[in-house]
Amino acid sequence: MTTSTANFPALRFAHLDAVELPRVSRVRLRHPSGTPVADVAGGVRDAIRGSDRLDALAEGSEVAVAVGSRGISGIVEVAVTAVSVLRDMGLKPFVVPAMGSHGGGTAEGQTEVLGRLGITEKVIGCEIRSSMEVVDYGTTADGARCKFDRNAAGADAVVVINRVKSHTTFDRPIESGLVKMTAVGLGKADGARSVHREGPKALSETLPALARVALANAPIALGIALVENAAKELIAVEGVAPEDFFAADERLLKLAKSMIARLPFRDIDALAVERIGKDISGAGMDHAVTGRADLRPIPNPAPYVNRIAVLGLSEATGGNGLGVGLADFTTVDIAARIDLRQIYMNSLTSTLAEKSRFPIVMADDRDALRALVSTSWSPNDPATRYCQIRSTMHLDEVLCAESLLPEMRESEAFVDEGDLMNLRFDDAGRLLSRAYAADEAAA
């Protein structure tokens, strides 16, 4: 049987034993919070009950509820409530995975992705109809073919649930949200390929064109737009009529971007990321934090990060280690856990091959961090501007080298700092020091 993971040798390099890792302090940060939604279920009920299109449906009409692959805050509560309210209205809801080519581009894989998010038929209280089959709604003006999930197309109505947020690589007035899920998520693998075929240009031109074709032909009745703050709390739950998808995405994206957590540095020599994952960012780790888009026509954002090491995968991402290609170092253990089929499928569909390349694979965490520091172009090892984060989504606590502390203290996000300490490892070279104190206590 052909394995879908990679086995790298645990190579050792004697000169790394002499690397002196910088001492670090645990720093607490405060990020924008907005006002969390007090009653998420109530917001979903109001959105559905307020839809004239859903209200006009005959009793017994089938409604496809489109749910994506992202780790959205409260997504189980949102989806369960949506299904319950639709059923209370005398309708017959079912869930369709709206995630392009994720889950390895298979119907079974996409059902598994929903399961990892906590969305199963038992939990959701309705059928999940997962298929990669699509209908063809015709072409855009530039010749891109509009594909749409066949199960959703055959329903009497479609409810699109998605988070509005910045894209993982590109800045545009409309990025990830209801429009993208309509064109890409519900377009399945075929639709995703249509969008990404021409790279960055397609995301600004082809994607909205495909969404307009889908909105004109598909039985989309309602969008439920969600916005999160930096603490992963929902600060907006809005019902959006299909003709307002574009305007709502643009308006809510401004709110979402004002809530993004960032590292308050102009540059970082060495960044250690404890975990990446599709539930954290579509690209595994957010370029607004790492400073790595690494696409030829797209400039990298601030901060400038010279070297990155990836030390783990999130539990929810399964084996989808997409984004490891944006790092410079990882470990044998992480390489062996990455499902090559999943990341290759994502890159072949998105045409962003860079995100699935493998960095230098070191024997363990200790060697990965030694390599990270020794290649960071810092004046000497202890002076390295080293920062360690749990993930690009979790920045309330970070480990900062002494050389970063003066700049950190000047930031509005700074709350307090702990004592300087050495990074700790177990006998197998596994990193014990964690950005979040709770994670360290549990390690």
Asked, for residue 400, whether it belongs to a domain, the answer is yes
C-alpha 240/C-alpha 394 separation (Å) is 29
Predicted TM-score of the model (pTM)? 0.77
Same domain, 144 and 271: no
- Asked if residue 1 belongs to a domain, the reply is no
- Give yes or no: residues 155 and 55 share one domain: yes
Domain span including residue 247: 40-258
Q: Is the pLDDT of residue 200 over 70?
A: no
Tell me which of 218, 233, 258 is where a domain ends.
258
Within-domain flag for 379: yes
Query: 23 and 44: one domain?
Result: no
Check whether residue 321 and residue 432 sit in a common domain. Answer: yes
Q: What is the mean pLDDT of the chain?
A: 91
Q: Are residues 231 and 121 in the same domain?
A: yes
Residue 4 lies in a domain: no
> Which of 286, 309, 304 minimizes the C-alpha distance to 375?
309
In a domain, 9, yes or no: no
Residue 282: inside a domain, yes or no?
yes
Q: Quick: pLDDT tens for 104-160.
A: 789 999 999 899 889 999 999 999 999 999 999 999 888 888 999 999 999 999 999
With respect to residue 176, please indicate whether it lies within any of the assigned structural domains. yes
- Mind listing the pLDDT tens digit for each residue in 161-182? 999 987 655 566 677 899 999 9
Q: Based on the structure, what is the number of domains in the chain?
A: 2
Boundary (domain end) residue, out of 258, 290, 320 = 258
315 and 197 housed in the same domain? no
Q: What is the CATH number of the domain that holds 50?
A: 3.40.50.11440
Mean pLDDT confidence for 237-250: 96
- Please state, in angstroms and rounded to a whole number, the distance separating the CA atoms of residues 127 and 47: 22
What pLDDT, in 10s, does the model give residues 178-190? 999 999 899 988 8
Q: Are 318 and 332 in the same domain?
A: yes
246 assigned to some structural domain: yes
Q: Average pLDDT, stretch 288-292?
A: 86
Better-predicted residue by pLDDT, 300 or 13: 13
